[in-house]
Amino acid sequence: MMAFELPLATFTLLHVGVSLAGIVAGLVVLHGMLGSRRLPGWTALFLLTTALTSITGLLFPNHGITPAQIFGYLLLALIAVTLVALYAFRLVGMSRWIYVICAVAALYLNVFVAVVQAFAKIPALQSLAPTQSEPPFVVTEAVVLAAFVMLGAWAVVKFHPERLCSRRWGRSPRSSCTDPKVRPPASSTSHPWSQRRIS
């Protein structure tokens, strides 16, 4: 079987590599959220690789609708909402927590699938849960879910980049640091040396 003229084994490696890159970038972004930092570069990488994970996953040969396809479409929907909240609404108002919830949910789905694949492909894990209904698999996924629920709730509380922008530049808390119109004050009085008297 081929996918865009690539052998299936090569395409699978590409899909796995993109997926792992998305997980790593997503964890960095989540860490930034907990410190109320946007990390634009890492965020763009996370969104891009996570979207590519879904797209490449949907390109695998399948017959009918499968759970993997449902996860893929759900992940794409989450990424779409995340993009709108971040780049269209610029994290102002409700779009801030919508962005956080959708981004964390997208990362969780990526990790969920990674755990499923690990138990399916790694012999040591496969022997512990050959049908993925055994306690080791169930407990692992439950711990992952609980961790992301707690981290997501914490991120909603902690992620307020507009407050950081307000403290740094003296802007209104409703302004967004992602807004290109928001710039540091240009007045010379903002520089501490400007307070000196010229004798």
CB atoms within 10 A of CB 175: 16
For residue range 139-173, list pLDDT tens digits in order: 999 999 999 999 999 999 999 987 766 555 455 54
| pLDDT, tens only, 80-102 | 999 999 999 999 999 999 999 99
Q: What is the mean pLDDT of residues 34-38?
A: 94
Q: What is the mean pLDDT of the chain?
A: 85
Mean pLDDT check: name the lowest of 37-51, 149-163, 165-179, 181-195.
181-195
Higher pLDDT, 73 or 169: 73
Strands (DSSP E) along 61-168, which ranges?
none
Structure tokens at 105: 């949910």
pTM (2 decimals)? 0.81
**What average pLDDT score do residues 12-19 get?**
94
Name the residue with tokens 């395409």. Answer: 11
Indicate the pLDDT class of residue 7, thresholds 50, 70 and 90: confident
pLDDT band at 195 (very low <50, low <70, confident <90, very high): very low
Cα torsion 43, 82, 23, 41 to 10°: value is -10
